[in-house]
């Protein structure tokens, strides 16, 4: 990660955070554009749940492909939409 100065003797870490992004195959290009815009802007990305619409592998792949283009670490947690599509097992 790159250190940024926010004034004399200070430094900061730029964190991009989002939740409920609900990736889907239909929105692949929009997701890719939005996530790639974080390069050079954020030092790390935090994705806080509901990464997919229904927890389908294809939807997760949309997000994985978009994040693969980032040059910063990505930290993500699952939400109820990501785990068994909100089904009770």
Break the chain into its structural domains and give their ranges: 15-86
SS3 content of the chain, % helix, strand, coil (to 5): 30, 20, 50
Q: Using pLDDT thresholds of 50, 70 and 90, give the confidence band for residue 11.
A: confident
CA–CA dist 78, 20 (Å, integer): 10
pTM over 0.85? The answer is no
Q: What tens digit of pLDDT does each residue of 15-58 get?
A: 999 999 999 999 999 999 999 999 999 999 999 999 999 999 99
Nearest alpha-carbon partner for 24 in 56, 49, 59, 55? 59
The pLDDT > 70 percentage for the chain reads 83
The CATH class of the 15-86 domain is alpha beta
- Helix/strand/coil for 8: coil
CA–CA dist 80, 42 (Å, integer): 26
Which helix H or strand E contains 77, and what residues bound it? strand 74-77
What is the distance in angstroms between the CA of the first residue and the CA of the last residue of the chain? 41
């Amino acid at each position: 990660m790159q250190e940024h100065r926010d004034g004399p003797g200070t430094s900061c870490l730029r964190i991009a955070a989002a939740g409920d992004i609900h990736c889907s195959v239909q929105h692949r290009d929009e997701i890719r554009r939005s996530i790639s815009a974080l390069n050079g802007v954020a030092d790390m990305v935090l994705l806080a749940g509901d990464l997919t619409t229904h927890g389908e592998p294809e939807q997760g792949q949309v997000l994985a492909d978009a994040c693969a283009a980032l040059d910063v670490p990505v930290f993500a947690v699952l939400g109820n939409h990501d785990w068994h599509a909100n089904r009770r097992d």
